[in-house]
Structure 1
Amino acid sequence: MNNTKRITEGALMTGIYLLLLLVIIFLPGIIGSILLFTLPVPFVFYSYRHGWKAGLLMFVASIIFTTLFATVVSLPVTLLAGVGGLFLGGAMHKERSPYETWAIGSVGFIIGIVGIYLVTQLFFGINWMDQIRESLNQAFTMTENMFGGMLQGEDSEQQLELIREQINRLPDIVPSILAITGISFAIVSQWLTYKLINRIENKKFKFATFRNFRLPTSVLWYYFVAMIVHYVTIEGNGIFYLAAINVFTLTGILIALQGFSFIFFYAHMKKWSKAIPAVAIVLSLLLPQILLYLVRILGIIDIGFPLRKRVEEKK
């Protein structure tokens, strides 16, 4: 009976996934981009209900049916949704905490993205680094041709040269961009699955309050070591430079999240309006060169020192 139920649910979830995939294929654009985040949900839900082994069989079946009924190009998408969904659903099946589930799911989606990178390079001959660098150079050249007449003088030429150098270095942080993409897919897919399970099974899955978000102290060590190595090897293009700049970027984003979490915590302790920390986030994103660095410093202080305990004691 249990096996029959498992097989039935697996066939249903596989069918739902294929339906979503076909809708995305035939409805490109904004709608397709939004629905892309729903693709991992059938894998997450099924793996949560029956474990990662059953989810793995569903993933294999989805690969086969995707190849038969969809296009070969959609195979990398199935790889991303399936691997990420397996990791998320498996963590939920083992009753991990929401943030632990998010971390495990992020690893799964990052593995899926790396798999896409390998598949597209091996079977389609697409080199992401070269494609990104070429696209950025074309965009810069087009912009320079459009507005070049308005920019005159040595200062303008130096600014253009500086911008070009920064563009040429953007492909170096592609691993960080891929990791951020995986993290984003994980949290959205996890949130959507929570909503689905809560409605179907009348559960109360939810993320812990963001103001209680805490990172381990080890993140600071990774951040400072990567920062030192980054500035030492800033003129290089070796493996140490690439590793340092990507670790520095990722840990910097995590520390900024810690800083925003403290702002929410402080606003809660002071009983301020919820709009205040929301405005702080918007302003930091609009003025990242100034405010985002201040938020990151706040995150460093919050991780390294018992700042929250002092606020609670004063309260």
Structure 2
Amino acid sequence: MNKSRQLRDGALLTAIYIVLLLVSIFIPVLSVITMLLLAVPFIIFAAKYDWKPSLIMLGVATILSILFASIIVLPIPTVAGIGGVMIGTAIHRELSPYETWARGTIGFAVGLLLTFVFLLSVLNINVIEEFSQQADEVLELSKDMANQLGMEAEAEFTVMEQQLNLYKQLVPVFVVLASLLLALLNQWVSYKILNRLEKQRLRFPKFRNLRFPTAILWIYLLAMILIFIQGEQDGTLVVALQNVMMLTGLFMALQGLSFIFFVSHHKNISIAIPIVLVVVTLIFAPLLLPLVRILGIIDLGFGLRDRMVK
């Protein structure tokens, strides 16, 4: 009975995945939503039956994807399947929401890296080189337009070129950020579905209780120090350190935002105040985000929350 139910659920969820895939391909208006949620069927199945049956479902879904579309869509079930199985397996084993999120992030990152390998080996497309070429073309086009209009903006274009070079080096960070967002969105939607269908009580803890390990702070500070003492600015080590510093700096900023919500709750301040502060921080990110990051560093390094509670 359990086996037949497993087959039935697998067939139903695979069919749902195929429908989402076809909608993503043939209905561009809805593709923005459906493409982001392709991992949900894999999460639901893995949360109920663990990873072994889920890999079989992933194999069937991959074959059907190729049959209904073509070999070009192979990266789609790869990314959605690996990320979904990682999240669903963590839910099945009753891991904490943030640990589940971390595993899902790893799964999506692995899927995206395999996509890069597929594009390079099968379609001969180097994603990093294509991004670099497109950025250079946009910069040259902007320069040509400025020259035709008689504008003198050499200093601005120099700064823009430096920023583009930095973005090229931070491609690994962008992959991790995309994986974080994909894992968070799919996990949240899956929690809602599982709570409704399976009568579970899955939810993320309050954002004000988010606290990262102190080791992240030391990694951030170590990367910052090593960047300062490195003389070669374009070396491989410096690029790697910039990626590490960018990623851990993002975690410090999240820690700072979480601390703002914690203070608001601790002082019985309206929830609207920290929400407005977050919106303002995002709008004026170049100016305010470094301040929020410093707040997160102080909170994590000196235990501000524990001191406030005491």
TM-score (structure 2 length as normaliser): 0.96
Moved more, 138-147 or 119-128: 138-147
Q: 1:234 to 1:124 in 2, by over 3 A?
A: farther
Counterparts of 1:118-129 in structure 2, within 5 Å, are: 118-129=117-128
Aligned residues: 309
For residues 165 and 2 of structure 1, the distance between their equivalents in structure 2, rounded to whole angstroms, comes to: 59
For residues 196 and 186 of structure 1, the distance between their equivalents in structure 2, rounded to whole angstroms, comes to: 15
| Superposed CA offset, 1:96-120 (max 9, x none) | 0111100111111111111111111
Q: 1:262 to 1:150 in 2, by over 3 A?
A: farther
For residues 10 and 123 of structure 2, the distance between their equivalents in structure 1, rounded to whole angstroms, comes to: 31
Q: Secondary structure at the residue paired with 1:245?
A: helix
CA displacement at 1:168 relative to structure 2? 2.1
In the other structure, the counterpart of 1:81 is 80
Gaps of 5+ in 1: none
Q: Secondary structure at the residue paired with 1:206?
A: coil
| Superposed CA offset, 1:221-242 (max 9, x none) | 1101111223344744333122
In the other structure, the counterpart of 1:98 is 97
* 1:192 maps to 2:189: yes
Match of 1:253 among 250, 255, 258: 250
In the other structure, the counterpart of 2:108 is 109
- The residue identity in structure 1 corresponding to 2:132 is R
* 1:15 maps to 2:15: yes
* 1:160 maps to 2:185: no
* 1:290 maps to 2:287: yes
Residue pair 1:17, 1:42 contacting (<8 A) in 2 also: yes
For the aligned residue pairs, the C-alpha RMSD in angstroms reads 1.4
For residues 160 and 173 of structure 1, the distance between their equivalents in structure 2, rounded to whole angstroms, comes to: 20
* 1:204 maps to 2:201: yes
Match of 1:223 among 216, 220, 225: 220
Q: List 4+ stretches of structure 1 deviating above 6 A.
A: none
In the other structure, the counterpart of 1:28 is 28
* 1:242 maps to 2:239: yes
For residues 226 and 61 of structure 2, the distance between their equivalents in structure 1, rounded to whole angstroms, comes to: 43
For residues 191 and 43 of structure 1, the distance between their equivalents in structure 2, rounded to whole angstroms, comes to: 14
- The residue identity in structure 1 corresponding to 2:12 is L
In the other structure, the counterpart of 1:306 is 303
Moved more, 289-298 or 179-188: 289-298
| Superposed CA offset, 1:176-234 (max 9, x none) | 00000001000000000011111112222110000000001000111011112233447
* 1:272 maps to 2:269: yes
For residues 195 and 231 of structure 2, the distance between their equivalents in structure 1, rounded to whole angstroms, comes to: 49
TM-score (structure 1 length as normaliser): 0.94
CA displacement at 1:295 relative to structure 2? 0.3
- The residue identity in structure 1 corresponding to 2:131 is I
Q: Secondary structure at the residue paired with 1:95?
A: coil
For residues 16 and 128 of structure 1, the distance between their equivalents in structure 2, rounded to whole angstroms, comes to: 30
Counterparts of 1:137-152 in structure 2, within 5 Å, are: 137-148=136-147, 149=149, 151-152=151-152
Q: Secondary structure at the residue paired with 2:94?
A: coil
Q: Secondary structure at the residue paired with 1:271?
A: coil
Percent of matched pairs sharing the same residue: 39
| Superposed CA offset, 1:35-76 (max 9, x none) | 112100000000000001111111111111111112222110
For residues 18 and 190 of structure 1, the distance between their equivalents in structure 2, rounded to whole angstroms, comes to: 19
- The residue identity in structure 1 corresponding to 2:245 is F
Counterparts of 1:165-176 in structure 2, within 5 Å, are: 165-176=162-173
For residues 287 and 232 of structure 1, the distance between their equivalents in structure 2, rounded to whole angstroms, comes to: 30
- The residue identity in structure 2 corresponding to 1:5 is R
| Superposed CA offset, 1:134-191 (max 9, x none) | 1111222223333443632xxx312211211221221110000000000100000000
- The residue identity in structure 2 corresponding to 1:263 is I
Q: Secondary structure at the residue paired with 2:170?
A: helix
